[in-house]
């Protein structure tokens, strides 16, 4: 059982477990949906567009978690959590791929190609291991490698060279994400009606807003020209 787990509530004969956790997941997903559809102007540029899909798929994983992983877990069974976990892995995979393309102008071509190969191998391993080992730890390790070792490092290098607004907001967003992870790890719960999961979901809304701002404000960034060129070139 989750420490300080939300009490079960009933709406008529409908049983809902962890109701606040489910609702905060849906709140997070709603913000992701807003961010995705409010950045349509970026869909023609490979780096920012991949970040848009990162936000969208992470939102999808939150919807799955709300219904299958929390609210109605008693109906679907623990093994159904795999759907949300795999969606999370795919969502983060979009982010690390986006970072590689977005920062292409700041790294050597040979490094870019090598990172792409490593990137796809790592994503494949994460998807397979999540399913075979069936542990959320794999998802957490994949997220740490992707966001801290790939996205943060590459966007940090790119920001230092170009002062890219997208890079800046990605770095801020990852910083907020780390705060949410710490809340989760140390079980910083306010009460059974607002536990560490609920609080971390609210903080994650802040990180999604940062990611959204980065993608949205990238319209006037010089890096968008490079992204457009990359998307039109043959691999």
* Cβ–Cβ under 8 Å, residues 205 and 176: no
3-class DSSP state of 62: helix
Enumerate the domain spans of the chain.
21-224
Pick from 95, 45, 96, 50: nearest CA to 226: 45
Cα end-to-end distance, the chain, whole Å: 49
Tell whether pTM > 0.95.
Answer: no
Centroid of chain to Cα 157? 21
Q: Can you say whether residue 4 is alpha, beta or left, with left for phi > 0 and alpha for psi between -120 and 50 degrees?
A: left
Scanning 103-162, the segments in alpha helix (DSSP H) are: 109-133, 136-144, 152-162
H helix or E strand, kind and range, residue 216: helix 196-217
CATH number assigned to the domain with residue range 21-224, chosen from the 4 options 3.30.410, 1.20.1070, 2.40.160, 1.20.120: 1.20.1070
Give pLDDT tens digits for 111-170.
999 999 999 999 999 999 999 999 989 999 999 999 999 999 999 999 999 999 999 999
């Amino acid at each position: 059982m989750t420490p300080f787990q939300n009490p079960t509530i009933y709406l008529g004969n409908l049983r809902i477990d962890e109701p606040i956790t489910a609702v905060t997941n849906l709140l997070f997903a709603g913000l992701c949906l807003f961010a995705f559809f409010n950045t349509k102007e970026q869909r023609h540029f490979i780096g920012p567009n991949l970040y848009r899909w990162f936000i969208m798929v992470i939102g999808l994983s939150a919807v799955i978690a709300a219904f299958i992983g929390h609210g109605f877990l008693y109906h679907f069974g623990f093994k159904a959590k795999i759907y949300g976990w795999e969606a999370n892995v795919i969502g983060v995979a979009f982010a690390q791929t986006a970072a590689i393309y977005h920062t292409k102008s700041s790294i050597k071509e040979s490094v870019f190609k090598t990172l792409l190969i490593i990137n796809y191998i790592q994503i494949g391993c994460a998807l397979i291991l999540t399913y075979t080992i069936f542990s959320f730890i794999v998802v957490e390790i994949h997220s740490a490698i992707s966001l801290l070792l790939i996205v943060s490092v590459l966007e940090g290098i790119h920001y230092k060279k170009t002062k890219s607004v997208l890079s800046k907001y990605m770095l801020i967003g990852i910083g907020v994400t780390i705060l949410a992870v710490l809340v989760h790890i140390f079980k910083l719960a306010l009460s059974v009606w607002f536990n560490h999961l609920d609080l971390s979901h609210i903080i994650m809304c802040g990180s999604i807003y940062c990611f959204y701002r980065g993608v949205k404000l990238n319209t006037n960034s010089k890096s968008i020209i490079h992204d457009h060129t990359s998307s039109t070139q043959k691999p």
